[in-house]
């Protein structure tokens, strides 16, 4: 199987499953125009986030890693009108593009961007008594996946969903000696969640327009499985 075929199947899915959405298209174009890295979720993955938001009835969402706000917008457009998203981003330039995209989409009131290292802004959230969140999307710097997961556990409740992106990395996670610290971060994350009784987790491998990757879905069990 080739990348062209994966992309063609992704396009087929999109044509059949995803209504055209000029607002989301505009957000992507704005991110491109600002020369942000093109590593946002794909169209189908965005729709998957939307389906998951609806499934768990998420009204309070925490995202770690905003980029231009594309995944944020997918989740925002799937939640109810009284829903709220807090999204954490390190790069001021990314946050600026995201802020403009949220305003353009008419959802600026529902989304709060916290600029800074997530490992600094997460303790602030806790100190403010934020949460519990119904859904957490972990999609920032991969070496910190494990601490982000610990924070997600602190800031959720029984029944919450924690989604961790990019856990396959073209199969690189199978190499125990891989030099890429992002791969090592994902490997530490798997070691951390292995046998963690507070969550039940499954991983989904995906191929598509973004190559071969995947995500982990963890549902919070509460203190006991």
Which of 11, 141 has the CB closer to ligand SAH? 141
Q: At what angle do helices 3-17 and 43-55 cross, to 10 degrees?
A: 50
To ligand DHB, the closest distance from the beta carbon of 50 in angstroms equals: 17
Per-residue binding letters, 130-149, with ligand DHB (x by CB under 6 A): ---------x----------
Residues with Cβ within 8 Å of residue 118, at least 6 apart in sequence: 64, 65, 88, 90, 140, 141, 144, 148, 151
39 binds ligand DHB (CB under 6 A): yes
78 binds ligand SAH (CB under 6 A): no
One residue of 14, 62, 138, 140 binding ligand SAH per CB under 6 A? 140
Distances from the Cα of 216 to the Cα of 12, 117, 209, angstroms: 24, 23, 19
Which of 117, 158 has the CB closer to ligand SAH? 117
Distances from the Cα of 203 to the Cα of 37, 54, 166, angstroms: 25, 20, 10
Report helix, strand or coil for 14: helix
To ligand SAH, the closest distance from the beta carbon of 144 in angstroms equals: 6
23 binds ligand SAH (CB under 6 A): no
Per CB under 5 A, residues contacting Mg ion are: 139, 165-166
């Amino acid at each position: 199987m080739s990348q062209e075929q994966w992309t063609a199947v992704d396009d087929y899915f999109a044509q059949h499953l995803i209504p055209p959405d000029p607002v989301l298209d505009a957000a992507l174009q704005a991110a491109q125009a600002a020369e942000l890295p093109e590593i946002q979720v794909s169209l189908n993955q965005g729709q998957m986030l939307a389906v998951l938001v609806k499934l768990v009835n998420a009204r309070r969402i925490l995202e770690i890693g905003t980029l231009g706000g594309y995944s944020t917008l997918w989740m925002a457009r799937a939640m109810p009108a009284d829903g709220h998203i807090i999204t954490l981003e390190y790069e001021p330039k990314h946050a600026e593009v995201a802020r403009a995209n949220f305003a353009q989409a008419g959802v600026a009131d529902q989304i709060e961007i916290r600029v800074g290292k997530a490992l600094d802004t997460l303790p602030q959230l806790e100190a403010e008594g934020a949460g519990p969140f119904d859904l957490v999307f972990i999609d920032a710097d991969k070496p910190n996946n494990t601490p982000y997961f610990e924070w997600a556990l602190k800031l959720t409740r029984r029944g919450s969903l924690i989604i961790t992106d990019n856990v396959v990395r073209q199969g690189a996670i199978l190499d125990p000696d891989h030099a890429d610290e992002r791969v090592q971060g994902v490997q530490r994350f798997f070691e951390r969640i292995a046998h963690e009784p507070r969550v039940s987790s499954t991983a989904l491998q995906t191929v598509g327009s973004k190559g071969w990757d995947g995500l982990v879905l963890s549902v919070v069990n509460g203190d006991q499985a």
